[in-house]
Amino acid sequence: MRGSIIVAILTVLLLALPALAHDHEHPELNGWYQGLHSGKGACCDGSEAVHLADVDWESRDGHYRVRIADEWWDVPDAAVLDEPNRDGRTLVWTYNDWNNVTGKFTIKVRCFMPGTMT
């Protein structure tokens, strides 16, 4: 029990630290980030997004999954952005949702934009 609480706290802290998604050398993309919306709402300005390495996301049976904090999470179809990825790297915007049944935080995906997988 104690170990799972520590893991939950560390996961929340890890996800609370912004992994700046935009490239400060390309400020022309800032407006693009701010305009990104999925069926789950605004993705934010890009600063909350996390870049995923190719090994940390996959497409299976027409649906996406992402690996965050060493665990795989399903990407809801409504969270997938279908416009061209001007960043070029895989981006995911997440939030934490408390699960009263398990007593743990669950990672939910608000927006997901696949990269080029190159």
DSSP 76: P
Q: Is the pLDDT of residue 10 over 50?
A: no
Q: Is the pLDDT of residue 112 over 70?
A: yes
* Predicted structure pTM score: 0.74
User: How far apart are the C-alpha atoms of 99 and 16, rounded to whole Å?
Assistant: 18
What is the pLDDT, as a whole number, of residue 99?
Answer: 86
What is the pLDDT, as a whole number, of residue 39?
Answer: 93
User: How far apart are the C-alpha atoms of 93 and 38, rounded to whole Å?
Assistant: 10
